[in-house]
Amino acid sequence: MTAPRLEIDLSKIRHNAQVLVKKLADRGIGVSGVTKAMLGNPLFANTLLSAGIRGLADSRVEDIENMRKAGVDGQMELIRSPMLSQAARVVKSANISLNTELETIAALSAAAGAQNCVHGILLMVELGDLREGIMPSDLEDMVRRTLAFPNIRLDGIGTNLACQNGVVPDARNMGELSALADAIDATFDRTFPVVSGGNSANLNWALGEGKKGRINNLRLGEAILLGCEPLHRQPLDGLYADAFVLVAEVIECKTKPSQPTGTIGQTAFGAAKSAANSGPIRQALLAIGHADTDPTGLAPIHQSLKVLGASSDHLILDTQDQTCPIGSEVAFSLNYSALIHAMASPFVTKQYHQNSASRGSIAAA
């Protein structure tokens, strides 16, 4: 089989999506399925739809265009603020986009006018994480100006936390978002239907005790893919954490000293880790590196294998008591960073399958 390759179990992903859709529906919250880590892959997108997710969301226009071209159904939402230079493509491919800049909304309205359509908008509010968002004190004015555009429909508001500064979604900031939704409804005497509370980092709050207020949507990627919440990377009850396995091939296996010889400077990727002298070790070289994934986000599935380091095209393992003959394969689990880099690398073959029985188990309550 070709290596390196990413084995993707769509039945585990479907299961994760179904569980999250159900649990959140019980709390009045709908799910937008985020496809960006999978580059808008149509098999993945259709898996989400078959799990009961109605809206798909992606950060890249290119991914949304690819899903449309492949005939994927359903509402599509652009979750990164549109580039002005892509306004026409955004309006053509996405039903909705998340926005914070009036100039961009003006361009979207003009593009929608030219295409004879109406484009939906969510206004994103800054609630402390300091990535995208309108300051809360400016929201009312932004709503008023947004409503004045002829080819724009304002569907509601949203926020995004835990991405730039790790701000935890909690009763306080979610309460503030609900209060802002109530305030604009009152001021403009209508109900803006969507209040989108955030991403996978919102799940502890969303599934926990306490009122959910006006929050009726979450945009979920990582939790569906990796079965964990991103704040503490804890497994979520009832979800598979092993839908993805990265496999690489051994190209050298030799006994070598545990410490390098010579004067030590930097490597291509910064300062080298210093190793303790533990005598000669059995070392395996794998044909995978920074050009394929984020090596720091890989964990060998076989517990006794240990990653010593990586360069552009090589990963170095201490094989301990394992034999790793050349030509054999080593399997890894991946974190979110390793996953998105592997997905985006042309060197990593993606292999989709549907057999959740093959490996691993569901996290227990």
Ligand X SMILES: *Cc1c(COP(=O)(O)O)cnc(C)c1O
Annotated catalytic sites, by residue? 36
Q: What is the DSSP letter of 91?
A: H
Cβ atoms 180, 139 nearer than 8 A? yes
Choice between 199 and 283, CB closer to ligand X: 199
The DSSP H or E segment spanning 270 is strand 270-271
In terms of C-beta distances under 8 Å and separation of at least 24 residues, what long-range contacts does 274-281 make, across chains too?
A: 275/308, 280/255, 280/256, 281/255, 281/256, 281/257, 281/318, 281/319, 281/320
What residues form DSSP beta bridges with 97?
78, 121
Residue type, 8: I
Q: What angle do CA 40, 43, 46 make, to 5 degrees?
A: 90
Choice between 248 and 340, CB closer to ligand X: 340
Q: Using CB under 6 A, count the residues that bind ligand X.
A: 13
Is the CA virtual torsion 326, 332, 335, 340 positive or negative? positive
| Range 73-92, binding ligand X (CB under 6 A) | 79
Q: Does residue number 200 form part of the binding site for ligand X (CB under 6 A)?
A: yes
Judged by CB under 6 A, which of 34, 56, 67, 342 binds ligand X?
34
Choice between 126 and 222, CB closer to ligand X: 222
| Range 232-291, binding ligand X (CB under 6 A) | none
Report d(CA 52, CA 33) in Å as an integer.
10
Q: Does residue number 35 form part of the binding site for ligand X (CB under 6 A)?
A: no
Judged by CB under 6 A, which of 41, 199, 216, 217 binds ligand X?
199
The DSSP H or E segment spanning 224 is helix 222-226
Q: Does residue number 221 form part of the binding site for ligand X (CB under 6 A)?
A: yes
Residue number closest to ligand X, CB atom? 221
Shortest distance (Å) from residue 235 CB to ligand X = 15
Q: Does residue number 120 form part of the binding site for ligand X (CB under 6 A)?
A: no
Q: Does residue number 222 form part of the binding site for ligand X (CB under 6 A)?
A: yes
Q: Does residue number 330 form part of the binding site for ligand X (CB under 6 A)?
A: no
Residue 47: other Cβ atoms inside 10 A? 24
Q: Which stretch binds ligand X (CB under 6 A): 165-173, 206-214, 216-224, 232-240?
A: 216-224
Report d(CA 34, CA 157) in Å as an integer.
18
106: left (phi over 0), alpha (psi -120 to 50) or beta: alpha
3-state secondary structure of 362: strand
Judged by CB under 6 A, which of 120, 133, 213, 230 binds ligand X?
230
Q: Does residue number 59 form part of the binding site for ligand X (CB under 6 A)?
A: yes
Q: Which stretch binds ligand X (CB under 6 A): 143-151, 221-229, 248-256, 257-265?
A: 221-229
In the complex, which residues of this chain contact ligand X (CB under 6 A)? 34, 36, 59, 79, 160, 199-200, 219-223, 230
